[in-house]
Amino acid sequence: MPLLLIDFGSTFTKLTAVDLQAGEVIGAAGAHTTVETDVGEGLNTALSELKRQTGLNHFERRLACSSAAGGLRMVVCGLVPALTAQAAKIASLGAGAKVVKTYAYELTREDVDEIAQTAPDILLLTGGTDGGNRACILHNAKMLVDCQARFPILIAGNRACAAECESTLAGWETARCENVMPGLGKLNVEPVQRHIRELFLRRIIQAKGLSREAALIDGILMPTPAAVLRGMELLAKGTGALPGLGELVAVDLGGATTDVYSMASGAPDNGNTVMKGLPEPWVKRTVEGDIGMRYSADGVLAAVGADELGRLANLASDTVIELVGQIAVNPATLPDTQALAALDCALAGAAVQVAMTRHAGTIEEVYTPTGPTWLQTGKNLTGVKTLILTGGALIHSERPEKIAGHALYSQAESASLRPKSARILVDRKYIISAMGLLAEDHPETALGILKRELTERGKPV
């Protein structure tokens, strides 16, 4: 009997049916997500569509991931912006969360009011290495006591004061876990990510009215970005028996945000390079909240400027500004004129370039009295040979390779360590999150399908 994989997205609920024996996708369907009423309605519409296409009605299991109702919204607090605050953000993004805001140093009364307005699903409270600074996290725990909104607080700071934070927050739902940065520059993201997922399963799904579907599905396993990460990691590393594709990067270009994933060590090419900043995890995800094709089209304009977008689209700068203004006001705009189609292509290229540049590391040549040397911050992705495109704007594009070119290394921005030459694979059927779900119990089947369905110029790899 087939297995059904469900992705409750913010706008679409997507279904993928898989035949486990044959190891194939046997059907896919979608419908609008209906989070205002009951997500079950949209799910049923999509199920009818799937039945109409394939005749399938019964499934062995139904597994789901969700980014509906705003996704897993988190606020993170740390001490130094480049240290624990950054570590907390990296850990949360890697758990599939949407990090609404990152606070560093001591929270003020205004910050706490702002957090109450934000009403996150989880707040991650960090600060201090183990045995390090105590004052900041204790201050922040005290400030949060009076917060006018309620949400679970995950405490992952200096272990020497975790118990004191917890007792300060008596009456709140709290969870304690290992420090996200136990020693200076040492990232410890897995324990935080396990706790986030556990809270997501136990609390968030229910709070968002997604669990009424419990009768229809066997469980929402994870936030959608976590499923995508799982699928990407599987594709890169392979399983014990089947090889993966090796190091890869992926871009998911959406209407409001652009996600970039890298499965790579990011080590320097050259032994003469000094590393700066926090070490970054092999599995890394970044989200650009200001870069997207519709809601965030004005963010792309702000990032690259009207002249550059105009150059890419072969339009006058004034026209670009006018059209981007229209798109931002009306996100349902379709590229139904020649100018809008050209602008969409330019927006996609620019968005991919900005998001990949922010994700990738940088290198700087420094002249010292003993000769030139290099300073690298973040991941060196120049040697990564596979670039995956996913998300509506890319997978439905007629010329994805052209857009993808903007993600690659360029001589003009030689400090940005983006891939130098990579084959471009397109996730035409949008199956990566589904395969991340399938990978929980059937990694080899999921890997086989990924390798078959991600295509290079229409051909499997």
Partner 1 sequence: MKKKLIIGVIGADVHAVGNKILDHAFTAAGFEVINLGVMVSQEEYIEAAVECAADAIIVSSLYGHGELDCRGLREKCQEAGIGDILLYVGGNIVVGKQPFEDVERRFLDMGYNRAYPPGTDPETAIGHLNADLGV
The residues that touch partner 1, with contacts defined as CB under 8 A, are 79-80, 82-84, 127-129, 131-134, 181, 183-184, 274, 276, 366-370, 373, 375
Closest distance of CB 309 from partner 1, Å: 35
| Bridging pattern class, strands 98-103 and 122-125 | unpaired
Q: Which of 337, 333, 339, 345 is nearest to 320 (CA)?
A: 339
Compute the distance between CA of residue 27 and CA of residue 32 in angstroms, rounded to an integer.
18
Closest distance of CB 366 from partner 1, Å: 6
Nearer to partner 1, 1 or 82 (CB): 82
Closest distance of CB 372 from partner 1, Å: 10
Closest distance of CB 186 from partner 1, Å: 10
Give residues with Cβ within 8 angstroms of 231, minimum separation 6: 432, 433, 434, 435, 436, 439, 446, 450
| Bridging pattern class, strands 386-390 and 248-253 | parallel
Closest distance of CB 137 from partner 1, Å: 11
Closest distance of CB 247 from partner 1, Å: 26
Nearer to partner 1, 55 or 372 (CB): 372
Cα 320–Cα 324–Cα 328 angle in degrees, nearest 5? 175
Compute the distance between CA of residue 170 and CA of residue 238 in angstroms, rounded to an integer.
45
Closest distance of CB 380 from partner 1, Å: 17
Nearer to partner 1, 22 or 274 (CB): 274
Closest distance of CB 383 from partner 1, Å: 24
Nearer to partner 1, 55 or 367 (CB): 367
Closest distance of CB 12 from partner 1, Å: 42
Long-range contacts of 363-368 (CB under 8 A, 24+ apart): 363/268, 363/273, 363/415, 363/417, 364/415
Cα 244 to Cα 234, 241, 355, 377, distances in angstroms: 7, 10, 25, 27
Contact assessment for residue 134 and residue 143, using Cβ atoms and an 8 Å cutoff: no
Nearer to partner 1, 79 or 229 (CB): 79
Nearer to partner 1, 127 or 419 (CB): 127
Contact assessment for residue 181 and residue 187, using Cβ atoms and an 8 Å cutoff: yes
Closest distance of CB 266 from partner 1, Å: 18
Cα–chain center distance at 189: 15
Cα 421–Cα 423–Cα 429 angle in degrees, nearest 5? 145
Compute the distance between CA of residue 272 and CA of residue 327 in angstroms, rounded to an integer.
47
Closest distance of CB 368 from partner 1, Å: 4
Q: Output the six-digit token pair for 231.
A: 């699928």
Nearer to partner 1, 118 or 377 (CB): 377
Compute the distance between CA of residue 155 and CA of residue 116 in angstroms, rounded to an integer.
18
Nearer to partner 1, 80 or 116 (CB): 80
> What is the maximum alpha-carbon separation in the chain?
74
Closest distance of CB 267 from partner 1, Å: 16
Q: Output the six-digit token pair for 321.
A: 């500004």
Instruction: Scan for tokens 């080899």, then name that residue.
Output: 444
Nearer to partner 1, 5 or 278 (CB): 278
Give residues with Cβ within 8 angstroms of 232, minimum separation 6: 248, 250, 261, 263, 283, 388, 432, 436
Cα–chain center distance at 83: 21
Nearer to partner 1, 134 or 203 (CB): 134
Compute the distance between CA of residue 4 and CA of residue 19 in angstroms, rounded to an integer.
9
Nearer to partner 1, 171 or 369 (CB): 369
Cα–chain center distance at 100: 13
Measured in degrees and rounded to the nearest 5, phi and psi for residue 374 equal -120, 140
Nearer to partner 1, 134 or 428 (CB): 134
